[in-house]
Structure 1
Amino acid sequence: MEVTLETVAGRRFTVEIWFFSTVRRIKEYVLRQEGIPVESQRLFFAGAELDDDGDTERYSILQGSTVLLLLPEDGAAPPSSGGGGGGGGGTKAMVRVVVNAPAALAGKGGAVTVEVDAAACTVAGLKERVQEGTDGALPAARVALMFGKVEMEDGRAVAEYVPPGAAADGTATVVVSAVQPRVTVNVKWGAKAAAVEVSDMLAVKDLRAELGGAAAHLPLPKDGGYFFIYKQNVMEEDRTLRWHDVKNGDTIEIFNGRVTGGA
């Protein structure tokens, strides 16, 4: 199966691994493909640092998962101590997030700080906290959050981008930008098509709900048994339209059936 590794600097690459690979084995795949020494790699998933002896089954790493790769040059301190090793013990991985938006927050020095449990808080939840902290100056539905060069996706945990210890003082800086204008895509079912206007930050799985008015023209299965194809590739349900590089005026095709993982 394939998993994506992403660095704090925003570099992304995909490695192909065995379904039950150990973390050590994943690091060896990275060494072989990217030339990064095993001892220089620290891997994080869902807010936790991965133990070399653990495997993909233990950490629920699946086809298409994104694993954060920390390197020595990232200057990362070890995750906050509290129990050594892999169990986690239920302690919260709190991080302070400084949100920079000079234009919108002129009266607040151009930034606000919120503290969140990185493992439990989604990016969408962080946007809501930012909205509250700015008295509505930065509406959750109208902003995109950037960590380094990476745009943070709503359905993902903050820890996938900002793991515990990513900064020596437990503080990470996230930059806010205005969401790009909505895009109009042509959704096609067989010979029939309908135009739908959506945000390019919409997750593919949420496109189903947006079909609303278009559904009257498209005889879609009522049980939701269909999937989306863009440029001859199956679209990943948890990824956004922007991640798939969908542009204004593009066509997304709908096919009957369901896609199972690992194919």
Structure 2
Amino acid sequence: MEVFVEPQEGSPFCIRIGCSDTVLEIKAKIEKHRGIPVYRQTLVFDNETLDDELDVEGCNILDGSRVWLIVAPEPPQSAKIELCVGTLPSVMRLPIEVQVNDPVKRLREVVRSLEDVSLERVKLYADGTELEDGRRICDYELQDNSSVDVRIKPPKFMVMVLPWKADLKVAVEVKQLDKVKVLRKELEKLQPSLELDLPSEGYFFIHNQSGMDEDKSFQWHGVEMGDTIEVFRGTISR
């Protein structure tokens, strides 16, 4: 469908959108069409400001609808603010100075270095909303002394699997509380690309020289991060 965008200044223009597009995706299309950064855009339809996470259908936008575009002034490049950053559930906060035009990823990188964890494990939230890498600090209207919550995702739990008649181990990501049968599904996913030898007549898993009950968890079996699990041909009699 096509909608007409009415900016405060300048002539209206038309963009093509899909029914499942979010407001944020519409803003991205406007940025591509007119070069107006997403973080400076506010869209209004039917006298309501549209939230980024809403989709076209949820906003009741129809083919030929008119959407108003409000463009915020570009903040000065040198504008700085101090954010109060802390790791949940601790109430302690650390002041971190950022520029309002800094991307969220830059703040995540600072937190990552302080927490000494991988970047992918660091998630930032303000007022319950996750701060996304593709946006800037100013997109979230953060001001001096605004609070930013840090959540550190638990590390990936990896086990090393030694397939049947193989010399090389394969690293497989699972959860420690997963049942062992999850490992069977993960190996089947990897089989086409890694050409794993998974005996067609059946196989079972061995950890620390003991057969594993696939209806029990890795934790129940005492499996730790990086432990080796071997694949053996045959079945276990109960």
User: Which interval holds the TM-score relative to the shorter structure?
Assistant: 0.3 to 0.5
TM-score (norm 1): 0.40
Greater Rg, structure 1 or structure 2?
Answer: 2
